[in-house]
Structure 1
Amino acid sequence: MAESNTHDLAMRMAELARSLALPRDLDSILSGVTATAKDLIPGVDAAGILLVGRGGDFESVAQVTDLPHQLDELQMKFREGPCVQAALDDVVVRTDDFREETRWPQYAPACIELGVLSSLSFKLYTADRTAGALNLFGFQPRTWDSDAETIGAVLAAHAAAALLAHREGDQLRSALSTRDRIGQAKGIIMERYKVDDVQAFEMMRRLSQDSNKKLTEIAQQVIDTRG
């Protein structure tokens, strides 16, 4: 990589890193990642991020065009392809020419039909319920070099950090909401039955066991019947 290109890449990476620290929504951050990939990596004509749930559901996000979503749908239909493989198994999956690709007998011909001849996919992370991949596609056969893989790996790390931070934020908000509901329900029971907080919680716990429902469901039922 030439010195000027190296300097440009370093500046763009620093700019992207700063953007992660700003109070931006997740979609904006991920869209910035895919747009930067298309801008910085020669041969990338489309880019997107695939999230795969353990139940087989999937979500295409941060697409530069609608093409990545079409390709994601085909991969989930055929249960094969570089994006799925990167999300669930390998760290980097590359195809220089789909016309010579033998790993995915159904997906490769479908890519060619859509005009896609090359791809480069990077694992973002694998969590308990979700896996993800950053996926780059080219309309021409492309021998992806080490620079392309390096830039893609850095961008994938940025996307993974944003996704995991968002996930942890959702978990924290859910935990706080659960705590508040249980506390509110406990207060209602204490007032209604003239018991202390320990007894109120024990009443909800027993109801949870007897009805085979989560404690949060019991708490919500208590709140709903307050009137």
Structure 2
Amino acid sequence: MGADELQQAEDELRVVAESFGQLGAELESMEPADTLDAVVRMAVDRVPGSVCASITTYEHGRFRTVAATDDRARRADDIQYALGSGPCLDAIVEDALYRPRDLRHDKRWPEYGERVSRELGLLSMLSYRLGHETDDSIDGLNIYADEVAAFDEHAELVGLMLATHGALAVALSANQQQVENLRKALVSNREIGVAMGVLMTRHQVTRDQAFGLLRMASQNTNRKLHEVAREVADTGVLPTIGGGRPRLEDATD
């Protein structure tokens, strides 16, 4: 390798390293709920040749798109899901990276390539499995182009860098959702506990009877249990519907 080629390689590596640092800082500064959309937007902005991008998750035996830059990316994903075949699905299942240069003539996914090129005008792709996974889900990053051989090795490297950070973003988003679900569950349980205490004190009933009254009020009013519990905690009485409030004797059935 000559001096000029060596210098060019060093310059490219430096640019990639700088982009890597900037990308990580940008993702870390965002709210977890925004990170998935940010990853696909960055894919289009940062990966040369890309026109749209998406993130696919495999969960409970099915694939679905959880983020996309536009409808074309979602439709391209949907074709893969319908066929059960495509670079995205194989990248996730096989833990691999795929860079089909011309989807119209790629023998690995002939039906998908024919449809996605004819229906959407997408001719080449980058597909990565995101490093993050849980017991229930695996995710992948899909980057689409409307030109043949749109992605070179540099684009592949930038995409890989993005997929690495995207994996952290997905993990952060999933953890944030788990925390939020736990918070809601704790609030609901606290409201139910307060309402049961109100009913036990007001009507001299047992814990099981108090919960039975709340459950029947929830069913009779077609409202969620925690909503009924909140009303009882605020007002001290059960909501009524039709024939009146739930009866104590019914709560013991």
TM interval, short-chain normalised: 0.7 to 0.9
Indicate how the Cα distance of structure 1 residues 191 and 38 shifts in structure 2: closer, same or farther if over 3 A, else same. Answer: closer
* Residue 91 of structure 2 is aligned to residue 77 of structure 1: no
TM-score (norm 2): 0.69
Among 106, 111, 118, the residue aligned to 1:106: 111
Note the alpha carbon deviations across 1:112-138, whole angstroms, 9 max, x for none. 213222211011243344332111122
Aligned residues of 1:184 and 1:223 also touching (Cα < 8 A): yes
- Match for residue 57 of structure 2? 51
- Match for residue 95 of structure 1? 100
Alignment of 1:105-184 (within 5 A): 105-113=110-118, 114-124=120-130, 125-142=132-149, 145-184=152-191
Indicate how the Cα distance of structure 1 residues 47 and 176 shifts in structure 2: closer, same or farther if over 3 A, else same. Answer: closer
Indicate how the Cα distance of structure 1 residues 35 and 188 shifts in structure 2: closer, same or farther if over 3 A, else same. Answer: closer
Opposite residue 12 of structure 1, the aligned amino acid is S
Tell me whether 71-80 or 95-104 shows the greater mean CA deviation: 95-104
Note the alpha carbon deviations across 1:43-92, whole angstroms, 9 max, x for none. 333322223432536225141x4321120111111121111222333331
Among 197, 200, 211, the residue aligned to 1:193: 200
- Match for residue 2 of structure 1? 9
Opposite residue 48 of structure 1, the aligned amino acid is S
SS in 1 for 2:85: coil
Distance 2:40 2:187 in 1: 38
Opposite residue 48 of structure 2, the aligned amino acid is P
Distance 1:167 1:118 in 2: 30
SS in 2 for 1:95: coil
User: How many matched pairs?
Assistant: 213
Indicate how the Cα distance of structure 1 residues 40 and 2 shifts in structure 2: closer, same or farther if over 3 A, else same. Answer: farther
Alignment of 1:188-227 (within 5 A): 188-194=195-201, 200=207, 203=208, 220=226, 223=229, 226=232, 227=237
Aligned residues of 1:34 and 1:47 also touching (Cα < 8 A): yes
What is the Cα deviation at residue 142 of structure 1?
A: 1.8
Indicate how the Cα distance of structure 1 residues 220 and 39 shifts in structure 2: closer, same or farther if over 3 A, else same. Answer: closer
- Match for residue 244 of structure 2? none
Distance 1:218 1:140 in 2: 52
SS in 2 for 1:2: helix
What is the Cα deviation at residue 163 of structure 1?
A: 1.8
Distance 2:226 2:88 in 1: 40
- Match for residue 248 of structure 2? none
Distance 1:167 1:116 in 2: 30
- Match for residue 214 of structure 1? none
Opposite residue 139 of structure 2, the aligned amino acid is G
Q: Which runs of 5+ in 2 are unaligned?
A: 1-7, 217-222, 238-253
SS in 2 for 1:80: coil
Please say which structure displays the higher CA radius of gyration: 2
> Could you tell me the percent identity over the aligned residues?
25
What's the RMSD between the two structures over aligned residues?
3.3
Indicate how the Cα distance of structure 1 residues 35 and 105 shifts in structure 2: closer, same or farther if over 3 A, else same. Answer: same
